[in-house]
Structures are given as C-alpha cells and as structure tokens.
Amino acid sequence: GAVVSQHPSWVICKSGTSVKIECRSLDFQATTMFWYRQFPKQSLMLMATSNEGSKATYEQGVEKDKFLINHASLTLSTLTVTSAHPEDSSFYICSARDGELADTYEQYFGPGTRLTVT
C-alpha cells in the first residue's frame, strides 16, 4: 500500500511555456501533500505544503505565482510551473501523508518528474 504516482516522469519544454505535474495517492487519502525540488547532487528542498481544499503554504523564496499548486481532492495535487525558464530545470518530487494514520508522519514519495527547460 501507500503508493504515490507522478505524471509525467519526464518532460522537456520550451522557455516561456507552462508545465503541469500531477501527483496522485493511489490507495490512500492524502490530506497533506508536499512538493520538493532537487538539483543535482543536492538534497531535497521543500517548495510548498498543500492541504486538500485549502491554499498551499509556500516556503520562503518560492514564488507562489510561478509555482501554482492545486490540491483539489484527497488523492490529487498538481504543480504548474508557469513561464518556465532554464533555471527551473530540476527534479520535482511530490510526497503525501496518509490522513487516516493520525500518529504517523511518514511521507510517501512519488517517483519524481524530471523537467528540462530549453
């Protein structure tokens, strides 16, 4: 159990365009989902935390108008990178917390999406 999927697994887009990444919890209800970015040879950097039905909480330095997060249901969160630039090229990973497990804070990770902006 506790499977999280991400789509697409990789995407190449042109500078100035927008890209949407989907994150789904397949066998549990994810009341909280997290979006991370990871540059080569660096650790995970939390971008934002989203709770179903409410606005996402962005980490300091992350532009909320550039990285649009929508957590419309208990199984789906989307991250849209708007007006992408080459410096946005990175590995984007989502994770989810099982809302029915009150005492556990384990995050289940999706397989990641590699974004390349040309």
Partner 1 sequence: GQNIDQPTEMTATEGAIVQINCTYQTSGFNGLFWYQQHAGEAPTFLSYNVLDGLEEKGRFSSFLSRSKGYSYLLLKELQMKDSASYLCAVLDSNYQLIWGAGTKLIIKP
Which residues contribute to the site for partner 1 (CB under 8 A)? 34, 42-46, 49, 91, 93, 95, 104-112, 114
Closer Cβ to partner 1, 2 or 76, answer by number: 2
In the complex, what is the shortest distance from the CB of residue 88 to partner 1, in angstroms, rounded to a whole number? Answer: 18
- Number of other CB atoms surrounding residue 66 within 10 Å: 14
Q: Please report how close the Cβ of residue 83 comes to partner 1 at its closest, in angstroms.
A: 26
Which CB, 11 or 46, lies closer to partner 1? 46
Residues in the chain: 118
For residues 34 and 49, is the Cβ–Cβ distance under 8 A?
Answer: yes
Nearer to partner 1, 18 or 42 (CB): 42
